Chain A
Amino acid sequence: MLKIENLHVSYGGIQALRGISLEVPDGKIVTLIGANGAGKSTTLRTITGLVKAASGSIQWNGEELLGKSIDKIVGSGIAMSPEGRRVFADMSVLENLRIGAYLRKDKEEIEKDVQWVYSLFPRLEERSWQLAGTLSGGEQQMLAVGRALMSRPKLMMLDEPSLGLAPLVVQDIFSIIGEINKQGVTVLLIEQNANMALKIADLAYVLETGNITMSGTGAELLANEKVREAYLGKNG
């Protein structure tokens, strides 16, 4: 279980997070929704250690993550699929997946997990030898998710997996996220596509200008009048 308490992060003089607290229980899908610049990505980047926090604490199964190096954090079972996919364009699909398992040494298990990812995303297996830069946006997103899975994480964090994708592809990706969760991976999902994210989420938090303004189960927030007004379009 991931537990964030009173987390403050600032970039220079600008406060990006003003003391947020949230919990990601094991085995659940938790989503963070909010507008641009609300601090969603900053939260994820602070958890992986890409951004340094000013104060607060991030506890992962009782262990403090703040101040740890990135490789230690990833090694402890937290994987991230970064915003904008960021696949390694000049490497093949298979190489991308192997890089995801960079911190693991168990070769046979890695091969098994490659097959596991291929079973989740059959499209990737077809394009195993293709350079990642030549894939379509949806396939690149699948690759980014698959790559994150290769470290065999207990917690997988996804930063806007629906960004710039066609609605049908988004549905595919979300159904696979559900599938991954069923196989025992905790998911922390960041989305602007609040409708899709809230439908799939067990727990949800609404982030506004660095503060958490609302929280509840996905269904609760989906029904909430304010959320509908701000993120779903009142008539939607």
Chain B
Amino acid sequence: MKKTISKSTWMTLLCTAALLALVVLLENVLDPNKNIMVFTALKKGAVYALVAVSMNLLNGFTGLFSLGQAGFMLLGAYTYAILTIPVAQRDAVYYIYNGSAVNFSLPELFGGGAFGLVLGVVAALILGGCVAAAVAWLIGLPVLRLKSDYLAIATLGFGEIIRAVFQWDKLGPVTNGANALKNFPTFSNFNIQNANGETVLRLSTFTAFLLAGICIAVIVLLINSTYGRAFKAIRDDEVAAEAMGINLSKHKRLAFVISSFFAGVGGGMFAMFANQAQAKTFTTAMTYEILLIVVIGGIGSVSGSCIAAFLYVAASEWWLRFLDAETFVGGFKVPLLRNGFRMVVFSVVIMIVVLFFRRGIMGDKELPDLFKKRRKEKAK
């Protein structure tokens, strides 16, 4: 039995490596300037996949219905941005507040250059996750006593409060008030350039995939550990789980903190994707988007969340984009196509998907499960 487990692990690793290689290939073969949408969708998809998986850990595996994801992403995004804006750029970014209260930048602290950039960005992302996790621990103390819908409302409130706090004028020297933080390293900083400033090897999308991939892998390992089993037990039956000796409050807090950590890292990555961090982008609507991805992908399926994240982002940002443009066919204006029509069609598509996939695209199965079944049927 042990052999088959290691075999499937190898297969997963191999597939992931192949996927990453494919991303690098795609990025360097296709011209990003002509295919902006493809790479926007891929990068945003990777970020959303991570956040959706972190939400799934809480909603799908532990059975805690929380809607604070955007709030934790905001914490991660701001921490990342504040820690990585180059010192020379700070006055320009914080011009309203006459410079920033934080006068260092992690990539520069680590010596600058490529090495400093990688280390600084990774450290800032992890710190962003830690800030989100610490805040989650604090609000978890009172909030996790609540159940189902009540927990959802309390966490929703948290998201709103945190957004208001970060736009507070008094915090301006740190958070830049309601203005955006920008000029920090983004995914495109990871493209390798030669001495003339020409891009030799594009790695921006690859970076997004690698970071999200590592985080998701950690979450998958957690889900498959004894802790993950305890989370699932709590989801299935709290009383029975307690009777097995599982400490409910401890495990719920653990799931909440870990989920928030990865939401924070995802928030930092979202800032890298969007080239800016601004409190007003992390609205409740963003949490709903992620919830939608989790539900469409299948509550309790990591691979479902990943697939749904890419489908969702691609459909909303790329495939349906033409519906928003007024189109003329030989002097005849195509009816209905106008700004905003995209969202109408998109909503209808989502309704149809939910009607046909009652438990999401994947249900609570994972991708490898599908192959396993086929193999079993063959064996019969």
Q: Do A and B come from one complex?
A: yes
> What residues on A are CB-neighbors of B242 within 8 Å?
50, 70
In Å, the complex CA distance between A98 and B244 comes to: 10
| B321 CB–A CB distance under 8 Å | no
Residues from 200 to 259 in B contacting A, C-beta threshold 8 Å? 226, 229-230, 232-233, 235-237, 239-247
| A86 CB–B CB distance under 8 Å | yes
In Å, the complex CA distance between A84 and B242 comes to: 15
Among A82, A87, A95, A102, the residue within 8 A (CB) of B246 is: A102
Among B229, B232, B240, B247, the residue within 8 A (CB) of A82 is: B240
In Å, the complex CA distance between A196 and B213 comes to: 57
In Å, the complex CA distance between A6 and B360 comes to: 53
| B300 CB–A CB distance under 8 Å | yes
In Å, the complex CA distance between A172 and B240 comes to: 23
Residues from 82 to 121 in A contacting B, C-beta threshold 8 Å? 82, 86-91, 95, 98-100, 102-103
In Å, the complex CA distance between A48 and B247 comes to: 13
| B364 CB–A CB distance under 8 Å | yes
| A69 CB–B CB distance under 8 Å | yes
> What residues on A are CB-neighbors of B237 within 8 Å?
86-89
> What residues on B are CB-neighbors of A74 within 8 Å?
243-245
Contact at A99–B233, with CB atoms within 8 Å?
yes
Contact at B236–A91, with CB atoms within 8 Å?
yes
Nearest-CB distance from A23 to chain B (Å)?
A: 23
Contact at B246–A71, with CB atoms within 8 Å?
yes
Contact at A99–B244, with CB atoms within 8 Å?
yes
Among A71, A90, A98, A102, the residue within 8 A (CB) of B236 is: A90
| A75 CB–B CB distance under 8 Å | yes
Between A69, A88, A151, the greatest number of chain B beta carbons within 10 A of the residue's beta carbon is seen for A88
In Å, the complex CA distance between A70 and B246 comes to: 8
Contact at A50–B247, with CB atoms within 8 Å?
no
In Å, the complex CA distance between A84 and B152 comes to: 29
Contact at A88–B246, with CB atoms within 8 Å?
no
| A80 CB–B CB distance under 8 Å | yes
| A147 CB–B CB distance under 8 Å | yes
Between B229, B236, B244, B300, the greatest number of chain A beta carbons within 10 A of the residue's beta carbon is seen for B244
Interface set of B (CB-CB < 8 Å, partner A): 226, 229-230, 232-233, 235-237, 239-247, 300, 364
27 contacts between A and B (CB under 8 A): A48-B243, A50-B242, A70-B242, A70-B247, A71-B247, A74-B243, A80-B243, A82-B239, A82-B243, A86-B240, A86-B243, A87-B237, A88-B236, A88-B240, A89-B237, A90-B236, A90-B300, A91-B236, A98-B226, A99-B230, A99-B233, A99-B244, A102-B226, A102-B229, A102-B244, A102-B245, A103-B244
**5 closest A-B pairs by CB:** A74-B245, A86-B240, A88-B236, A71-B245, A103-B245
